[in-house]
Amino acid sequence: MAKTLRVGLAQINTTVGDFEGNVRKVLEYVERARDLGVDIVSFPELTVTGYPPEDLLLRAGFVKDNVDALNATVEGCRGITAVVGFVDRDKETHGPISGPDVSGVSIYNAAAVIHDGRLAHVYHKQRLPNYGVFDEARYFEPDQQFPVYIVAGVAVGVNICEDIWYPGYPVETQARAGARVIVNINGSPYHAGKRRFREDMLADRARAYDVYVCYTNQVGGQDELVFDGGSMVLSPSGELIARAAMFEEELLVVDLPVEGGRRKEEGGKGVERFVLSHAPFLPNKLAIEPRIAPELEDEAEVYAALVLGTRDYLHKTGFRKALIALSGGIDSSLVAAIAVDALGAENVYGVSMPSRYSSEGSIKDAKELGENLGIEFRIIRIEPAHAAFEEMLALAFEATQPGVAEENIQARIRGNVVLSLSNKFGWIVLTTGNKSELATGYATLAGDLVGGFAVIRDVPKTLVYKLSRYRNTLGERPVIPQAVLTKPPSAELRPGQLDQDTLPPYDMLDGILQAYVENDRSVQEIAEMGYDYATVARVAQMVDRNEYKRRQAPPGVKITPKAFGRDRRLPMASRYKAW
C-alpha cells in the first residue's frame, strides 16, 4: 500500500544577521504549512542566520545568538516536522578552527530536524564548497553521518546544498539506508541558465538513487548575490512534479505517493535511524494538486534577478530612494527602469548633467525616459564647475595636449554632484556601468564609477540592449526611447567621441570577454575561436590592467557564472601576460 507524504518547501527571503525577523518568518510559514496538513516543511540553508553570513561566523556572540534563535524556532514548531538551517557548534572548545591566530570552537553548516516542538536531530553538511563565491572551508568543519528520519511512516534523508551536487555520499548512502525521500536545503546563488542545470542534476540524483528529491532554495538578494528560489520536487523517475516561482517567496506543497513496503536498509558507518512519527498529525486530508511554476524566458529571468537584487540590497541596507545620473544612453536608461520596477517610480530620482559636449539629443532622451518612467527629473548643467577646473588646472596643465585628463574631469564633476545629492537627501546613487566597461576599464574612477550599488556591473553591453528591448515590451508603450536603442554609444566627453573609437565593436568585445573572464581561456584559444589575435591580446591586456579600478567599484548583482569580485580573485600587481 502506498503512503502519502505531504512535503512543504518554504522558499523564503531571509536577511543576514536578522535573527528576530528570520525566526518570525519561519514560524509564519510553519503555521501555514501545518494548516495545510504538511508532514515535513523545509527551509533554506542557514535559515536562522541568513546566507552567507561570512566572517560574522568568526564571532562567538553571533554563533551564540544563532543558537538562541534556533531554540526559539524549535519551541514554535509544534504539530509538524521542520527542517531549519542554522550554525551548530561543538560544546567544548577544542583548539583553533581557523588558523594559528584564531581560537574557537568547531562550527558546522547544519540542519535542525525539529519534530513537534523538540529538536530531534542535527545534520551537518558534508561537502563544503570553497570555489567561486564560496568560502565555506574558511568557517565550517565537514562531518560524515548518514541519518534517516521516519516521518509519518516514510523514511526521509536530509542534506544540505552541495551534498546533493555530486553522485555518491551522502545521498547514495542515505538512499541505501532506506530513504525514499531526500530533503535538500539550499542557498544556491543565481546565474543565467543555472536553473536548468540544477533541474537536470537533481533529476540525475533522483533516478540514480530511486528517491523523491525535494529541493528548497532561498530567494532574495544578499550583497552581490541573488538567490532565485525555483524550489522543486522530482520523482524517483526524474520527472519534475512541482516547481515554485523564481524570485518570489512561496510555500510549495506537494503530496508524494511513496510506494509501500520497507526498502532494504543497508547499515554502515554513520548510518542511523530516527523514528519521529509513524503517521501524519493530520490524517485523511484532501489531495493537493502540485503546481509547476512556468519557466521564464532568458531576458525575463535576468531582468527579474536584477530587480530583486537591487530591491533587496537597498532595503536590507536601509535605503528606500535612489538617484540615477541619466546620460540619455542605454545603460542609465536600463538602470532607471530596473530601479522603478524595484522601488516604485516615486522613489527614483533622475538627474541629467549635460556638459558643453553633450548633444541636445542626449538631454532630450534622458528627459523623455524620465517622463515615461514617471520619475522626478532634474537638469544640472556642469559648465560652471567645468570652467572652474580648467582655470584651477591651467598652470599645471600648461603646454600639455588635451586628453583623457580633461575628459575625466567632467565625469568626476558629475560624480561629485550625485554624491552631494546623496549626502543631502539620503538617496543611494545607482551606478550605471556595464560589465564590458568594467572589464576594459572604460569608466572613470570617482566619476561614473561612483555610487552605492552598480546594478548592471555584471551585464555585458550586448545583454544591456536585449534587456532594454525586453523591458520595452512590458507595459502599454516602450519606456526607453527608440533613439536610445539605435544611436551609437558615446561617453560625450569630447566632440564626436564614440565608444568604438576605443573599444572593439561590442558584439566582438563581449564574445572575447566571456571567453577570457568567465571561461579563463587563453588568448591563443580565444583567437582560435575565430577572433583576431591582436584584438584579443589588446582586450586581455585592458582586462588585466584594470583590476585596480574594479576593486574600487561599488557592488552589483551577479548574473553570470563568473562576476568580477569574489568570484574572480586576481592580483593587481602581476606581470603575468596571457598574450
Enumerate the active-site residues. Answer: 45, 125, 161
Residue with smaller CB distance to a second copy, 100 or 294: 100
Contact between 572 and a second copy by CB under 8 A: the answer reads yes
- Single out the residue of 1, 2, 92, 102 in contact with a second copy (rule: CB under 8 A): 102
Q: CB under 8 Å to 115, separation ≥6 — which residues?
A: 77, 81, 82, 151, 276, 277
CB of 308 to a second copy, least distance (A): 13
Q: What are the phi and psi torsion angles at 234 (to 5°)?
A: -120, 145
Interactions with a second copy, residue window 145-174 (CB under 8 A): 165-166
- Single out the residue of 332, 362, 408, 490 in contact with a second copy (rule: CB under 8 A): 408
- Single out the residue of 3, 4, 15, 538 in contact with a second copy (rule: CB under 8 A): 15
CB of 417 to a second copy, least distance (A): 7
DSSP 219-244: EEEETTEEEEB--EEE-TTS-EEEEP
User: Which window, 244-252, 354-362, 363-371, 403-411, contacts a second copy (CB under 8 A)?
Assistant: 403-411
DSSP 516-558: IIIS---HHHHHHTT--HHHHHHHHHHHHHTHHHHHTSPP---
Q: Site for a second copy (CB under 8 A): how many residues?
A: 97
Q: Are 39 and 153 contacting, i.e. CB atoms less than 8 angstroms apart?
A: no
- Single out the residue of 67, 279, 404, 534 in contact with a second copy (rule: CB under 8 A): 404
- Single out the residue of 28, 31, 54, 172 in contact with a second copy (rule: CB under 8 A): 54
Distances (CA, A) of 333 to 472, 478, 479: 11, 12, 9
Interactions with a second copy, residue window 412-431 (CB under 8 A): 412-413, 415-417, 419-421, 423-424
State the amino acid at position 22 in one-letter form.
N
Report d(CA 118, CA 20) in Å as an integer.
20
Q: Three cell numbers at 55?
A: 566572517
Distances (CA, A) of 439 to 399, 482, 537, 550, 559: 33, 27, 14, 8, 15
| Omega of the bond leading into 489 within 30 degrees of 0 (cis) | no
Contact between 575 and a second copy by CB under 8 A: the answer reads yes
Contact between 131 and a second copy by CB under 8 A: the answer reads yes
Report d(CA 172, CA 451) in Å as an integer.
48
CB of 284 to a second copy, least distance (A): 42
Interactions with a second copy, residue window 185-204 (CB under 8 A): 201
Residue with smaller CB distance to a second copy, 413 or 503: 413
Helix 330-343 with 461-473: angle, nearest 10 deg: 50
Contact between 223 and a second copy by CB under 8 A: the answer reads yes
- Alpha carbon distance, N-terminus to C-terminus of the chain: 66
Contact between 240 and a second copy by CB under 8 A: the answer reads no
Contact between 289 and a second copy by CB under 8 A: the answer reads no
- Single out the residue of 292, 446, 529, 534 in contact with a second copy (rule: CB under 8 A): 446
Interactions with a second copy, residue window 309-368 (CB under 8 A): 312-313, 316-317
Contact between 498 and a second copy by CB under 8 A: the answer reads no
Q: CB under 8 Å to 254, separation ≥6 — which residues?
A: 6, 7, 9, 214, 233, 241, 242, 288, 290
CB of 452 to a second copy, least distance (A): 7
Residue with smaller CB distance to a second copy, 338 or 479: 338
Contact between 398 and a second copy by CB under 8 A: the answer reads no
CB of 472 to a second copy, least distance (A): 30
**Strands (E) located in 12-68:** 40-42
- Single out the residue of 35, 55, 90, 532 in contact with a second copy (rule: CB under 8 A): 55
- Single out the residue of 381, 466, 487, 538 in contact with a second copy (rule: CB under 8 A): 381
CB of 433 to a second copy, least distance (A): 13
Contact between 485 and a second copy by CB under 8 A: the answer reads no
Element (H, E) at 5: strand 3-11
- Single out the residue of 79, 129, 142, 193 in contact with a second copy (rule: CB under 8 A): 129
Beta partners for 110? Answer: 86, 124
In 3D space, the residue among 19, 68, 12 whose CA is nearest the CA of residue 187 turns out to be 12
CB of 138 to a second copy, least distance (A): 5
- Single out the residue of 92, 360, 391, 476 in contact with a second copy (rule: CB under 8 A): 391
Q: CB under 8 Å to 271, separation ≥6 — which residues?
A: 146, 147, 148, 173, 177
Contact between 552 and a second copy by CB under 8 A: the answer reads yes
Q: Three cell numbers at 528?
A: 582560435
| Omega of the bond leading into 504 within 30 degrees of 0 (cis) | no
CB of 250 to a second copy, least distance (A): 22
